[in-house]
Structure 1
Amino acid sequence: MSNRSSVFAVCLIGFIVSIPLYHFKSRSLRSIPFEEASVKPNPLTIDTSAYPTIESVLQRAESELKIMYGAKIVDSEKPLLVSLENNIWTVVGSSKDAGKGGVSEIKIDKITGKIIHISHGK
């Protein structure tokens, strides 16, 4: 076998071996559609509750309290105090005249948005 034929044989073998490797590599580097390539949000980190923020629950609580007790009473008890415990929002009015009547209170479930308790103490 001459040098020329041995070079040809080596090139032919290299070419034959490289075809499957090239095909495998090109499949793994295929272009991905934009929808697949974009980062999708993790559903475990998104707060899907009915009232995830203080602002949202304050707006709901204030509107419900105004329906029950009137705007004059609710406005006189501002600022409304908000707390969250065990996924239950508690919104309580603040009293300017201690001992002269109570304040309004409403409890709203953070997840479902259901009103659990609403009252005006004395």
Structure 2
Amino acid sequence: MNIPSNIGKSILLASCIFWIIYLIQEGDLDFAPIVVLSLIPISICVSLTIVITICPVFWALRKEKEDNKSLAKRCFPYYSIVAFSLCIYGVIASNFDAFFVSFLIAAYLTTAQSWVWFAKEKSS
């Protein structure tokens, strides 16, 4: 698994999704200067999420001689259901705060895409 490449692509994807959604919802360009600074917490969140929640699935649940694609087909639906449920709960609990909703949407879409990137890789 090429974890650094996946994390790098995920950081860029999460940043783009987060700021596009937030700027569309709020329309406030006062936050524009901190977009670059936001890469630091986004990088930390994305890296930890991938290493703590996605990589262990590929490391621990892989059956002998199973490729990444079949493992993703077997495990991703359950991961997606749990992640989506937690995101919906977070949206409701935050009272639909634009900043937090943007964060959760970016997190969900980024983890889903990260699964796709891992599934497309050749097994080692």
- With structure 2 as the length reference, what TM-score do the two structures score? 0.31
| Rg comparison, structure with higher value | 1
Greater relative CO (CA pairs within 8 A, separation 6+): 2
Provide the TM-score with structure 1 as the length reference.
0.31
